[in-house]
Amino acid sequence: MPRCVAVVTASRCPPCHRGLHRDRPIYGELFAVIAGQVTAGIPHDPASIAAALTEAGTTAGHHGVQLRYALTQATLSGAMAASAAHYARSVISAAYRRGFHRAAAALAHAAAELPQDQLFTHLLGIGCEQRTATLRLTHISGTLS
């Protein structure tokens, strides 16, 4: 996305986007969502825009596929192929960390709900899952290096 996204309002389209909107209206729709987020002073990173589109119910069906594709294209337009391994490691690392958040939530739930004699077995199961995730992360990271 051009830098001018951060300085426009949802009602005014800069000249650098006008042809893009006429040729591919889906990008105009995407730009309006981004500009609306900027104007409102709320996050407008790709994940936040994807969340806004989903919350608005605009990601379903054929139109939703086009909208998600436009967001992906805009997000990746400056990505360099040489950085693909770095991007992959970042995604894998984030997923790995989310696994620990899920494990912590599962342990908290177990502490509140499970009978005492099942707690340690449950803890071991979660630990085995996290160990598997650690081995997977190590293997993938080594492969991408």
d(CA 58, CA 106): 32
Q: Tokens representing 143?
A: 């492969």
Q: Give the pLDDT of residue 12.
A: 47
23 has a pLDDT exceeding 90: no
Instruction: Render pLDDT for 9-21 as a digit per residue (tens, 0 to 9).
Output: 334 444 444 444 5
pLDDT for 116 equals 97
- Residue 6 is classified by DSSP as G
- Per-residue pLDDT of 59-75, as tens digits, reads 888 888 888 888 888 77
Residue 138 CA, distance from chain mean position: 22
pLDDT > 90: what percent of the chain? 28
pLDDT digits (tens, 9 = 90+) for 73-124: 877 777 666 677 777 888 788 889 989 999 999 999 999 999 999 999 999 9
Higher pLDDT, 142 or 127: 127
